[in-house]
Structure 1
Amino acid sequence: MVIDFSASWCGPCKFMEPVLNGMAAKFTEVQFVKLDVDELPGNDEKHVMNLKISGDLLDVAQEFGVQVMPTFVLLKKGKEVDRVVGAQKNDLEKKIEKHRDLVAAT
C-alpha cells in the first residue's frame, strides 16, 4: 500500500495527482490511498488500510512523522517499508518497483 499524505494548498501535491493516477494504473496490485491532512477533524472513525483511525487526519500524519507534503509512505501489513518525501516521481516509482511484492495486496 502507498499512502499519499497531501494537502489541498500544496502545489507539488497537485503536480503528483496525475502521476499517482498513472502509477495506480501501472501497479494494479498495489493499493494507493490519499490522505488530505486538511480534511476536517471529526469524531467519526475512519477505516484506512485496515486500521481504525479516530479523529483528525493531521494526527495520523503526525503518527507517521510526516512533516512535508507530499510524503508517500509504503506499507506492508501496517508497517512502513519505505517512504518518499516530496514530489519525487522517479524515486517513488523506483521504490514501488523495489517493494512491489511487499506493498501489493496489503
Structure 2
Amino acid sequence: MVRFLETKADFDSFLKANKDKLVAIDFTAAWCGPCKIIGPVFEKLHEDFPNIVLAKVDVDENEETAAHCGISAMPTFQLYIDEKKIDSMTGANADKLKALVAKYYK
C-alpha cells in the first residue's frame, strides 16, 4: 500500500516510523504525464520487494516537503534508510527504478 504524505510533518513522522526499513518516496504531480506512466510501476514495487515502504508526495499539494527534499523535476524518487536519504533518481524509467531499489534492498 502506498501512503500519500500531505504535509512536512507527515513526511517526517513517516520516515521516523519506518526508519528500520527501506523507504521509497515518489515525488509526483497530477499534471505530470511521465508520473502517470511510472506511478503504477512504483505502486507495485512491493511485489518484488515485499519489505519496502512506499509513499508519494504531490509536489503541488505538499510544496514544503518538495522544497525540503530539493525536488526540481518530476517524477523524482528518493530512497531513505534511518531517516537519511541514501539515493535518488529522476525520470520515468521502470528498469532504472527497479535497479535502484534492488541496490539497497535487503
TM-based fold match above 0.5: yes
Larger radius of gyration: 1
Short-chain TM bin: 0.7 to 0.9
- Indicate the residue corresponding to 1:68 in structure 2: 73
User: How far apart are 1:79 and its partner, in Å?
Assistant: 0.5
* Offset, 1:38: 2.3
Counterpart residue number, 1:90: 95
Long gaps (5+) in structure 1: 40-56, 102-106
- 1:24-103 residue pairs with structure 2 within 5 A? 24-39=46-61, 57-101=62-106
Structure 2: 5+ residue runs without aligned partners? Answer: 1-22
In proportion to residue count, which structure has more helix?
A: 2
% identity of equivalent residues? 37
Count matched residues: 84
Q: Deviations over 1:1-59 (max 9, x none)?
A: 000000000000000111112212221100010111222xxxxxxxxxxxxxxxxx211
What's the C-alpha RMSD, in Å, of the aligned pairs?
A: 1.0
C-alpha separation in 2, matches of 1:20 and 1:85: 13
Q: Which residue is equivalent to 1:8?
A: 30
Please, what TM-score do these two structures have when normalized by structure 2?
0.74
